[in-house]
Structure 1
Amino acid sequence: MGKASRRRRTTDDQGAPSRRQRTAAVPYVNRPFEGLPQETEWVAIREILPAATVAVRFAEGKAPEGVEGATVATVLPMAWPALHRADGTVLIGTQSGSSTGDPSRDLAAQLLAGAAVEPGSAVQHVPAATAETPRLQDLLDTSEPLEFVVHEGFDFWVEGQELDEEGQASLDRANESVVPTRRMSALPSAYWVRIGERTYIRLVLPDDEDTATDALARLHAAAESGLGEGTRLLGAFRACGLLVPVFEVPADSDPADHEEALGAFGTRYATALASKEALTAEERRARSGLLSRQVTLR
């Protein structure tokens, strides 16, 4: 084979650009849910919540024929990317499916795929999104606040349906795997989590991760980064361009025990975030320590 034959083709047999050239790669988006109301909730449902849902509606002129809205969930049975129930309900799983570097575009592709299949069908594979695939910001009605619901288990999978003995046993097994998680009220997107014999509070901060890290460093250097006696800031996750600090709290404590302290932390954090002063040497050391304990999700 000659060199010319081995070169990558850029046109098809008719001289038009080849498929490889026509399909532009999806650009990486550091904060894929920026521009959607409740960005922190979108990050939480995709990255840190075990069982949660939110009902969404399509924007005017964007709804596929016969479908007005859908339910966005953490995961679906068999890790399906999407499901179109026999009753017409469309569901998608945020923690399954392909990833192109823009989760918003990936989820939009799942949403459209779920709406397109016949009712009573599951979508087991969604073709990778392209630069032409719309994003959630393009498809969804964002005029009203959304209600993100944290569930104790996956009963929402079968809402309104009767299960046989085998199906109920399968659902029970799935429910047993769910980490106990409860929403807290003192700050948005804060969650009490019990894992084994240890208890934590996870908080999705709404600010750019670098800015949020600086604010946490200021608090940590001042010994003000915890939630009171018996608690400590362990570190943070980086998720979809935002920071998710993780606090360890007494193992036998309940969410209500920490609401006041969490609200006070929010006030301290806002003050630290607003500071325009350069980080001191001690704050820089605190920042380095926080960075060493950060973990990137996905």
Structure 2
Amino acid sequence: MAKKPSVDFVLRPFAGLPGEPDWVALREVVPAATAPVRTTAEYGSRDVVIATVLPMAWPALHRADGVVLVALQTNSGSGDASRDVAAALLEALELTPGSAVTTSGVPVPGPRLQDVLDLTLGFDVTVHEGFDFWLAPDAEVGADLREALEQANESMVPTRQLASVDSAYWCRMGEREYLRWAMPHDEQLLVDALARLHAARESAIGAAKFVGYFRSSGVVVPVWELAPGTAVEDLEQPAAEFRTRFEAALADTSPLDANARRARAGLVARQVTLR
């Protein structure tokens, strides 16, 4: 029996898409958000909504009003998240309105998001306070979906997007607030820049303490713990000021000094990789 072809692993699956760090953030750290995209003419020039998560962790939903939503946070997949999402998207386009792609399985090699989407368009994220975007306006909601919606809204981590910088998200977990900022730069150069700033005691954002970083879909996401009660508005100017310091550190190609090397070793030792 012939072996079913498999999808090759891709370390940075969303590379080449407009707004790559936001794709990663919506897949990993933002609970409720959407962004419109459009397929190429080859795939029908169809408007599609990329979403963080859908009811019952469905990979995609073709709502009764004709809107197609495709989720980034699902329970399974291959070694290439771009291929997985593209497979769900293409399947959803063929569904009858009012139907969902309920299982994803593991797709065979095929078109990726980079092949399916119009890459001349941006990736404009809207962060929501709940999951009502699952529903069409004036839709009749069954008991199961209503229960899923209520449970999702109750358990959601409050999250907001900063306006002064790209791909940075404030969130409140329990009584603590954090800033998680997805960045598109080469990992080695980015970590060097963070190490330079940390060694110089310039890695804070206002009163927010830099606590480390994690990696997801090949993108580095630095994390800051905020002073209790810090609102997203309090971060806008300090984040913009940090970006200026960070860009200067990123442009510095000189060897790291001893303090920066120690800071870098500490950062690398604490890093976490998420899928």
| TM-score normalised according to structure 2 size | 0.94
1:241 to 210, 218, 221: 218
The Cα shift of 1:228 comes to 2.4
The Cα shift of 1:169 comes to 4.6
Which amino acid in structure 2 is aligned with residue 297 of structure 1? L
The Cα shift of 1:98 comes to 2.6
In the alignment, is residue 103 of structure 1 matched against residue 81 of structure 2?
A: yes
Which piece of structure 1 moves more, 93-102 or 51-60?
93-102
Distance 1:95 1:206, change over 3 A: same
Contact kept in structure 2, 1:113 and 1:126, CA below 8 Å: no
2:21 to 36, 40, 54: 40
2:187 to 188, 191, 209: 209
The Cα shift of 1:288 comes to 1.0
The Cα shift of 1:52 comes to 0.6
The Cα shift of 1:116 comes to 2.3
The Cα shift of 1:95 comes to 0.5
In the alignment, is residue 156 of structure 1 matched against residue 137 of structure 2?
A: no
What is the SS of the residue equivalent to 1:118?
A: coil
Partner of 1:268: 245
Correspondence 1:136-155 to 2 at 5 A: 136-155=113-132
In the alignment, is residue 80 of structure 1 matched against residue 58 of structure 2?
A: yes
- Return the alpha-carbon distance in structure 2 between the equivalents of residues 40 and 146 of structure 1: 10
The Cα shift of 1:29 comes to 1.4
What is the SS of the residue equivalent to 2:222?
A: strand
Partner of 2:173: 195
The Cα shift of 1:274 comes to 0.7
What is the SS of the residue equivalent to 1:61?
A: helix
CA RMSD across the alignment: 1.7
1:184 to 155, 159, 162: 162
Contact kept in structure 2, 1:181 and 1:194, CA below 8 Å: yes
Give CA deviations for 1:46-104 in whole Å, capped at 9, x if unaligned.
111100111111111123xxx82221111100111111222222212111043222111
Return 5+ residue gaps in structure 1 as ranges: 1-11, 13-17
Partner of 2:32: 51
Contact kept in structure 2, 1:191 and 1:201, CA below 8 Å: yes
In the alignment, is residue 228 of structure 1 matched against residue 220 of structure 2?
A: no
Contact kept in structure 2, 1:56 and 1:72, CA below 8 Å: yes
Which amino acid in structure 1 is aligned with residue 25 of structure 2? A
Which amino acid in structure 2 is aligned with residue 270 of structure 1? E
Give CA deviations for 1:192-226 in whole Å, capped at 9, x if unaligned.
11100001111111102222111101111111111
The Cα shift of 1:45 comes to 1.0
How many residue pairs are counted as aligned between the two chains? 274
- Return the alpha-carbon distance in structure 1 between the equivalents of residues 62 and 27 of structure 2: 20
Give CA deviations for 1:118-146 in whole Å, capped at 9, x if unaligned.
22222121241222x10000000122223
Contact kept in structure 1, 2:58 and 2:100, CA below 8 Å: yes
- Return the alpha-carbon distance in structure 2 between the equivalents of residues 167 and 30 of structure 1: 35
Partner of 1:119: 97
Partner of 1:68: 46
Partner of 2:9: 28
Contact kept in structure 1, 2:64 and 2:136, CA below 8 Å: no
Contact kept in structure 2, 1:59 and 1:139, CA below 8 Å: yes
- Return the alpha-carbon distance in structure 2 between the equivalents of residues 193 and 274 of structure 1: 29
The Cα shift of 1:164 comes to 5.7
Return 5+ residue gaps in structure 2 as ranges: none
Q: Which has the larger radius of gyration?
A: 1
Correspondence 1:271-282 to 2 at 5 A: 271-282=248-259
- Return the alpha-carbon distance in structure 2 between the equivalents of residues 159 and 246 of structure 1: 35
